[in-house]
Amino acid sequence: MGFSLSSFLGGAAGAGSRGLEERRVNLQREKETAETRKWQIATEARADARARKKARAAKKRETEERAEMLSLYYTEDQVKDIMGGGNAQAQFALDYATKLPSGQDASANYRTSSQIAEVPPISGGPRGKVSPFTSRFKTTAAALEKYEGGFGEMLAINARNVLKFQGNETKLAELAAERTTIENSVKSYEAAKAKAEPDADTTDIFSGSLGLGRMETIIRQTEGQALSLAGQADWNKAEEKYTLRAGSIGTQQSTVLENLSVLEKTYSTMSPSMLERVELKREIATNKIKVWANTIDDSLINKTFDTLTDFKTAAADNKITPGTVVELQNGSGFYVYTGQPTVKATINYKGEDVIGFLPYVKF
């Protein structure tokens, strides 16, 4: 077969023509794709611009409405100052104003940044509960009360640490100082609360669902320490608790009652809940003394007096040891002297009958 130059040239020309056509098609497709993409980008950009414009308009309306709401409670300068910090500040200011007790003026309560509120820092506890902005507002009792549980929590933590570090005298000394600081902080808090709202409810650092557990922790810790100091209990390191020594239940419960009296004095203005708890614990201790006293024999009777008056006089003169079992002449009466407020009774005080506590239990 011979080589045909004309056939070769014709085939090559056809192939070249097809190649050029394919390139033209590809270029046209790429051009259309690019134009489509440009159109899509432009469309999306316009949509985004419209959305941003709409959002700006909505935000402007929201800002104007918020400023208008603030102007119902604050002066023009105050509104500008508040709005300068953003929506969060503005919302806080509105919430503050709407929740104020009747008769109070939010504008009069708003302070500059240099006039921060009298809320004392809670020593040893979490800080930052009052931001520089929120502290520009005069503190209301409602705002202050959110701190009360924090004090109770810190005192309970302190009590748990006292139990945890038994035997470490250096740490125990630190914890004792910490407890004093916390209690002093509560007093500062109460003064600030009274200044903010004289008719505010009584402070209660152990209120709420967690208060009971915190009170029990403190009572357990202080009672154990009191019994230990009196030589009536030992610290059981393995079980992390105090264990009573063998001895007179009357004496032991007198120590328990003494500790309750200390708690009562310490928390008398800080927690009505603690005072109620102390009263309940006092009744429990009294019942334990009665049950024990009714089982003892004559050998445990330590003192005898002719009359009840003689007994009371000796008690008033501190001539009887707490836990002493007393008999009046001829068995006309039997008592366990505790030396602490024990049994609630009507007492004649300076010619008037008042409710008080007798320092003994009759059985």
Quick: pLDDT tens for 96-143: 888 877 777 888 888 654 444 444 444 444 444 445 677 677 766 666
Q: Which of 110, 145, 172 is the last residue of a domain?
A: 110
Do 104 and 221 belong together in one domain? no
- Residue 86 or 175, more confident: 175
User: Is residue 286 situated within a structural domain?
Assistant: yes
What is the reported pLDDT for 217?
94
Quick: pLDDT tens for 210-233: 899 999 999 999 999 999 999 999
- Residue 313 or 30, more confident: 313
Contact criterion met (CB below 8 Å) for 139 and 196 = yes
What is the reported pLDDT for 214?
93
Mean pLDDT computed over every residue of the chain: 83
User: Is residue 195 situated within a structural domain?
Assistant: no
For residues 254 and 250, give the distance between their C-alpha atoms in angstroms, rounded to a whole number: 6
- Residue 172 or 30, more confident: 172
What is the reported pLDDT for 80?
87
What is the reported pLDDT for 10?
55
Do 213 and 326 belong together in one domain? yes
Do 245 and 353 belong together in one domain? yes
Q: Is the pLDDT of residue 39 over 90?
A: no
User: Is residue 165 situated within a structural domain?
Assistant: no
Domain, as residue range, for 70: 9-110
Residue 146 pLDDT grade (very low, low, confident, very high; cuts 50, 70, 90): low
Do 213 and 347 belong together in one domain? yes
Do 101 and 235 belong together in one domain? no
Q: Which of 110, 130, 152 is the last residue of a domain?
A: 110
User: Is residue 147 situated within a structural domain?
Assistant: no
Q: How many domains does the chain have?
A: 2
User: Is residue 94 situated within a structural domain?
Assistant: yes
For residues 43 and 140, give the distance between their C-alpha atoms in angstroms, rounded to a whole number: 54
What is the reported pLDDT for 229?
93
User: Is residue 223 situated within a structural domain?
Assistant: yes
Q: And the tokens for 264?
A: 């009562």
Do 213 and 353 belong together in one domain? yes
Q: Which of 110, 145, 169 is the last residue of a domain?
A: 110
Q: What percent of the chain has pLDDT over 90?
A: 38
User: Is residue 289 situated within a structural domain?
Assistant: yes
User: Is residue 77 situated within a structural domain?
Assistant: yes
Do 352 and 244 belong together in one domain? yes
Quick: pLDDT tens for 244-293: 999 999 999 999 999 999 999 999 889 999 999 999 999 999 999 999 99
What is the reported pLDDT for 132?
62
Nearest CA to 66 out of 46, 45, 43, 89 is that of: 89
Q: Is the pLDDT of residue 58 over 90?
A: no
